Amino acid sequence: MPPDIEPHPNKTLSTFYNDLFDNGFFVFNDEEPYFQEKLVQVIWNEQLVNTPLTTVAGDLLQIFHAGVWNVESGPDFHDAAIAVNGRLQHGAVEIHLQPEDWFRHHHDGNPDYSRTILHVVWSNPNHHLTFPQNIPLCVLQHQLRVPLPELLARIDLSLYPYASKIHPGNCAGHFAKLSDEHIADLLQSYGIARILEKSREISEEILRNGLEQTVYYRFLDILGYKNNRLAFQRLAENMPVRRLSALTGEHEAMAILFGAAGLLPDPTRTAVLPQHRTLVRELWDAWWPHRRGCPDIHWNRHRLRPYNWPERRLLAAHLILRDNSYRLGRNIIQTMRRKTTPQESMRQLHDLFGAAADASWHSFYDFTRALKKPASLLGERRFQDLLVNLAIPLFFADCMMEQGAAQCEQGKQALLQIPKLQDNRLLKEATHHFFMPPSRARDVVSNACAQQGLLRLYRDFHPGS
């Protein structure tokens, strides 16, 4: 791993997350950052805060009962019991991201909020002492009992009342009252949250397994798609990238991959196409000394289109890894770190995976058959999958590990440029749950980021999905 992207396991991620929250990283045209406020509600509900707390005005704040989470209209928590400088109070607690949300959400003059005894917010950029007047203001940002990254890893938001305020049957009705822009904004923000979850997982894997093995494993996992994900994962475990990078022969790495995968045909038993006979013999010569002790891998070809055949996917992986000198992770990060336009970043990332577009392999089905209609080993949709599920989460993981939250804007803008990915069962189910009519999703779910948000929202409302 090059020194310029060496991870720092002892660095906390708190600064990274705090910077994202503070600097408006998430995509909001409207003022309410939904998932962030939901997180603040969970923090309050679980009392993951210092004891005792202090208000912005410097008063001592004791929490005897955080309140009952309200799943109807009105303040977020009712029947709370607190003491401000020793004076006991009973009433409601309202949660927001920032103090000004009180007026943005039209709570002023609303009698439902007349019994509010405490206003809890995440941050207070305008340094209010109270907000609204005469209601104590408590800022949680620097009063957490648990470091923010640990808290985010621990919390399952789908288990909390806020995630199930609205029965799925009513969600479509609620969405129907919102503008297309409002829903698109919500979904894109949820989408960024989903990508950040993947990034945190990637950063943890890098600390355990190293950068290149983590990227190699996830790269093969994505190429496996739904039929052969487990098979490609097993191959990545059985044949780690460090072993491939140490090989020096012209076809040795290709031989090891196809041999370990069990996808190298035996020319003494199977008729190999004339154009591949010499290559297959060379691959066998290279594979023969390594063949012992390699476990069998099962490949699922049921209802699999020829263009997605595992031999084609594995050949694409070999060509891309080889052309990146088995440092695909380093190259992705260095490409994303360059200060270029989102469009230029996409072009440069496309070049990293360009080996799969080698026209000399377009007819390759496997070593025994050729495609009737030639096509690139990896289509544009699979490239976009690699961007959304590998390249951009990896860049965010690099930002996390280096505490470079300010750099994340580059990745966010690149993410928002990616068009919609291929549809799948979960996306179709989510569309029918949240949109009336479902055809409205064609306009609202306009890019890959919004799709990711729709999937995350659906998972929150349907934990078993």
Does some domain include residue 50? yes
What confidence tens digit (pLDDT) does each residue in 49-86 have?
A: 998 999 999 999 999 999 988 877 899 999 999 999 99
**Which residues in the chain land under pLDDT 50?**
1-10, 30-34, 162-168, 464-465
What pLDDT does residue 162 have?
Answer: 39
**Direct distance between the N- and C-terminal alpha carbons of the chain, in angstroms, rounded to an integer:** 37
Angle at the Cα of 152 from the Cα atoms of 464 and 71, rounded to 5 degrees: 60
Does some domain include residue 42? yes
Does some domain include residue 375? no
Q: Cis link prior to 136 (omega < 30° from 0)?
A: no
Does some domain include residue 288? no
428 Cβ contact partners less than 8 Å away, ≥ 6 residues apart: none
Does some domain include residue 415? no
Query: How many Cα atoms sit within 13 Å of 41 on the Cβ side?
Result: 26
Q: How many whole angstroms separate alpha carbon 321 and alpha carbon 245?
A: 9
What confidence tens digit (pLDDT) does each residue in 363-404 have?
A: 999 999 999 999 999 989 899 999 999 999 999 999 999 868
What pLDDT does residue 233 have?
Answer: 96
Written as six digits, the tokens of 251 are 């076809």
Beta-carbon count within 10 A of 334 CB? 16
Does some domain include residue 147? yes
Does some domain include residue 409? no
Q: Are 334 and 369 in contact (CB under 8 A)?
A: no
Q: Look up the pTM and report it.
A: 0.74
Element (H, E) at 417: helix 408-417
Question: Which residue range is the domain that position 39 belongs to?
Answer: 27-177
Does some domain include residue 162? yes
Q: Considering its fold, how many domains does the chain have in total?
A: 1
